[in-house]
Structure 1
Amino acid sequence: MAKNIMIQGTMSSAGKSLLAAGLCRIFRQDGLRVAPFKSQNMALNSFITRDGGEMGRAQVVQAEAAGILPDVRMNPILLKPTTDVGSQVIVNGRVQGNLRAMDYYRRKKEYIPAILEAYNSLSAEYDVIVIEGAGSPAEINLKQNDIVNMGLAQLVDAPVLLVGDIDRGGVFAQLYGTVALLESEERARVKGTIVNKFRGDRAILEPGIKTLEELCGVPVAGVVPYLDLDLDDEDSLTERFNRAEGRRAIDIAVIRLPRISNFTDFSPFERYENVSLRYVGRVEELHQPDLIFLPGTKSTIADLQWLRQSGLEGAILKAADAGAVVFGVCGGYQMLGRRIADPEGAEAAGVTEIAGLGLLEMDTVFSPEKIQTQTSGVFGPVEGILSPLSGQPYTGYEIHMGRSESPAPPLAKGAGAVYGSYIHGLFDGPGVADIIVEALARRKGLAPEALGRFDPAAYKEQQYDRLADAVRAGLDMNLVYRILNREV
């Protein structure tokens, strides 16, 4: 069975996911077979594995850092919020149905056998399992039925490194307060603390670190710097949405739908020096982009209603009439059609039929059946400004509950410069984003070569290595290995 180590945090977005990915990369570099694990994930940013299972994006990133294929066993429970008080529950990659938050809370312990089966199966195949917690282990109102923090650590006998976020302030109170709220047996599992996202001279922290070690009774395992890395984000807490981005030579706007999902589809466009990628939630932010992306969403009908009420539907239609390229992905693709029907209430939006934007000649009908599959192939004939995509290889995956009338995979094109696809990850393939950006540049009379090209796979590997270098330098890796080997 594999050795294990668990990363827990003082709060959501303390940096657990990234530190776990960094450790996965370090253990891989050190010659160990390593796999990530998170028993329960709540996120709309998901991925479809090779065998058609759905899992959270964070564990996909960690698997890539470990140099292995993503596997639903790494994230046996995925919760995808459908409303403010309910989520779609996915167990071992397959949809089990929708539950209100309180109903799921009452039933959480029923999922322990599935969690342990997934964990034990991974443990039999790898040398090390890097486990990620969720939120905080000190959420005392939720501890009774915990299956993702100390409850899981007890089930799989894992030592814990507790991470605090100094960038938000109050890191010593975060760490000590969390430890103080733990039960004695839980406190014994904490073998070290980590100060994360630090900017400045570590010497300034030394007096506080010494006092923290005395108060918590465990060493500070490291101080990890604030990292500016380009890796996929897990959910809508991403800083991408709030990033101040001025418009550049080529300007791309992504509509920030309330229930936006798989926004990492558009990350490749952030990597060009002369391309701006902006997330837009209000009409006054749209301006006159060269390309508008309508992204995926967990609730197509509800977000289409929001698009209409916010005035963004009219702004998009006006931009399309003026020549802007409009490209819908998954739920955004469905919105571009003539109508969307939900006769069986699959989306639980309380609407059986709604008109779409009418930019594509198609209708979409929802049903409870969820399509989950990876896909690859070659673009067929593509018309209009994106015609250079014709014959280009593509890869990606589909996650949706609707079927559209006579779609033309991987791209459907309407009048003007309107395109749509069900395929997530479409722009990650070699050359796809390059071709789109170059086509936009040519239309504006710009030299395409000025925008540059890049190799997405090599770029991602560089980011993982940068992460590992920073984490290795920030942590006391001798201590980490002693914890892993149960010497502490």
Structure 2
Amino acid sequence: MGKALMIQGTSSGAGKSLLALALCRIFTNMGYDVVPFKSQNMSLNSAPSIEGGEISRAQYLQALACKKKPSIKFNPILLKPEGNMRSQVVFMGKPIGSVSAKDYMLSKKEELFRKAMQVLDELLKKHDIVVIEGAGSPVEINLKDYDIANMRVAKHVDAKVILVTDIDRGGSFASIVGTMELLSKEERELVMGFVFNKFRGDVSLLKPGFEYLERKYGKKVLGVIPYTEHKIPEEDSLVSFPKIKGDLHIQIIKLPHISNFTDFEPLHWANGIDYVTKAEEIKGDLIIIPGSKNTVEDLFWMRENGIEDAIVQAHKDGAFVVGICGGFQMLGEKIIDSIESKRGEVKGIGLLKAKTVFAKTKRTNHLKAEVLWEPFKGMRVEGYEIRMGRSVSEKPFSIIREINETKAFEPEGAVGRRVFGTYLHGIFHNFEFTEQFLNMLRLERGLEPITVRRWSIEEEIEQFAKIVKKSIDIDYILEVLE
């Protein structure tokens, strides 16, 4: 039977996801068979699993840290916010409905929790260590009775719990004390120790606080992780929408139901970029409509607020326009949606000769494709798709050559005059494509070419794990687990 190690935090954004990821890689490198788990995650940044279902981006990355293929078993329950206190519920990779927060708490949650624990029990039978990530804080008084992601999980499998806090925010000692005081005696006994995250400065200055915690609770301070720059995507609650000055101006429409905004991280490093919500703000060299959790409703939002007209005018004035997934669908001539918004046939923006029909089944796949768009024809790219729409176009953006490592030949996306759309989430993480595309736009503006900063998630995971391994007492953690 495997061992369960759980990472809980004093708050959202304390560093649970990244500490879990680092421990997954550390233990894997030590020769243990490790998998991640999170019973319930709320996120708009999702990714496909090996089974074809949808999981949180955090557990997807943790699976990579374990050198495992991402599985729906690692994140049985995924909640995708839709606005107005409602979320789409995804269980074992498949959407099972849309519910209000209150209805979910009172009806579906207990049944799904029982099934999620069966999945966790199965993982513990098959693997040496399961690194479990909690959610938010385990002691929110108004939520604790309904919480199925923290101490109920730990008690179910007798997990050893590490409590992590973000010291960069301030108040970390008070956060730990407050959390410990609000835990029951049984729950406090599960806590093995504390980790301080994102520290800048001299660790010796924290010694009086460490002594206080160890004296008061009999729990060890396991270590202090220094503030570290990295490119591993953060959880949704930490994502900022930056405004960066630069000589090439990129604008991303910040849709009410924006999703998978990690698509644009490679663009943050070399250009001027901002996320816009008003028609009068739109004046970029490159305008991007991102993915959406509710494509038609976001299209109507743009239409009602004058943003659609502003994009069309900017395009006439010479701006380049790109649509990713839902953004691509909006740029077409027509959307027929009797599934997501149930609005039926809807007129699109019309910058692309493409039509989209929504289907009941969602496609969630890893893709490898060959670009057909003339400036980059023949270039190989890869990404993933998470979509309910099926689109046809006169001039596809690319040909899909592989779906989940199986050979394929399927057109996708569309191109037009100074505009393209694609279903490939992660297209800008293909650094050669991104560099050539941006330099094409820069050349038009008379700007010097740039070299796009390249990185690999594998290298980022490995480097971050090395920092964490030096910073916390891994031997003690394994001793307690054993």
TM score, norm. by length of structure 2: 0.90
Instruction: Find the counterpart in structure 2 of residue 162 from structure 1.
Output: 163
* Residues 393 and 414 in structure 2, CA contact (< 8 A), matched pair in contact too: no
In the other structure, the counterpart of 1:53 is 53
Aligned partners of 2:327, 2:62: CA distance in 1, in Å? 28
1:426 is displaced (CA, Å) by 2.5
Query: Which AA in structure 1 matches 2:360?
Result: P
Cα deviation per residue 1:70-126 (whole Å; 9 max; x = unaligned)?
111111111111223111111111111112211211221201343133223333443
For 1:415 and 1:67, locate their aligned partners in 2 and report how far apart those are by CA, in whole Å: 40
- Matched position secondary structure for 2:139: coil
2:190 aligned partner: 189
- Residues 200/281 of structure 1: CA separation in 2 closer, same or farther (3 Å cut): farther
SS of the residue corresponding to residue 293 of structure 1 reads strand
- Answer whether contact 2:90 2:97 (CA < 8 A) is retained: yes
Q: Are residues 1:144 and 2:141 paired?
A: no
* CA drift at 1:287: 3.6
Deviations 1:203-261 (A, max 9, x none): 222212222223333122112222221112332x23431x341123x332222212111
Q: What secondary structure does 1:147 align onto?
A: coil
Q: CA RMSD in A?
A: 2.2
Instruction: Give the counterpart of 1:300 among 287, 295, 299.
Output: 295
Task: Note the residue ranges of structure 2 that are not aligned, 5 or more in a row.
Answer: 399-411
Please point out which of 468, 472, 476 is paired with 1:479: 476
**SS at 2:349 equivalent:** coil
The equivalent position to 1:399 in structure 2, one of 386, 393, 396, is 386
Q: Quote the offset at 1:159 in angstroms.
A: 0.7
- Secondary structure, in 3 states, of the residue corresponding to 1:188? helix
Indicate conservation of the 8 Å contact 2:431/2:452, yes or no: no
**Which of 259, 270, 274 pairs up with 1:278?**
274
Q: Residue 284 of structure 2 is aligned with which of 285, 288, 303?
A: 288
SS at match of 2:240: helix
Question: Which whole-Å CA distance do the structure 1 matches of 2:311 and 2:469 have between them?
Answer: 47
Q: Confirm or deny: 8 A CA contact 1:320 1:416 kept in the other structure.
A: no
Cα distance per residue 1:338-373 (max 9 Å; x no partner): 23332x3x224x744443222112232334332223
Tell me by how many angstroms 1:430 deviates. Answer: 5.9
After superposing the two structures, state which structure 1 stretch, 153-162 or 362-371, moved more: 362-371
Corresponding residue of 2:340: 347
Q: Structure 1 residues 464, 415: closer, same or farther in 2, change over 3 A?
A: closer
Deviation for aligned residue 1:465: 2.3
**Corresponding letter in the other structure for 2:463:** R
**Distance across 1 between alignment mates of 2:293 and 2:204:** 46
165 and 284 in structure 1: CA distance in 2 versus 1, 3 angstrom threshold: farther
2:245/2:271 contact within 8 Å kept: no
Q: Which amino acid aligns with 1:356?
A: G
Structure 1 window deviating more from structure 2 (462-471 vs 320-329): it is 462-471
One-letter amino acid of the structure 2 residue matched with residue 205 of structure 1: L
Q: Which has the higher strand share?
A: 2
Q: Kindly state the Cα deviation for residue 186 of structure 1 after the two structures are TM-superposed.
A: 0.9
- 1:312 has 2:295 as partner: no
**Residues 279 and 66 of structure 1: is their aligned pair in 2 closer, same or farther, counting only changes over 3 Å?**
farther
Q: Which runs of 5+ in 1 are unaligned?
A: none
Q: For 1:375-414, list aligned pairs within 5 A.
A: 375-380=367-372, 382-383=373-374, 387-388=375-376, 390-406=377-393, 408=396, 410=398, 412-414=413-415
Residue 305 of structure 1 and its aligned partner are, at CA, apart by: 2.4
Kindly indicate whether the alpha-carbon contact (under 8 Å) linking 2:324 and 2:423 is maintained by their aligned counterparts in 1.
yes
Q: Is the 8 A contact 2:39 2:113 kept in 1?
A: no
TM-score, scaled relative to structure 1: 0.89
Aligned length: 467
Identical aligned pairs, as a percentage?
Answer: 43
Match of 1:226 in 2: 227
Aligned partner letter, 2:460: Q
Q: Verify the 8 A CA contact 2:38 2:59 in the aligned structure 1.
A: yes
TM-aligned CA distance change 1:62 to 1:413, over 3 Å: same
Decide whether the 8 Å contact of 1:146 with 1:152 is kept in 2. no
| 1:57–1:233 Cα contact (<8 Å) kept | no
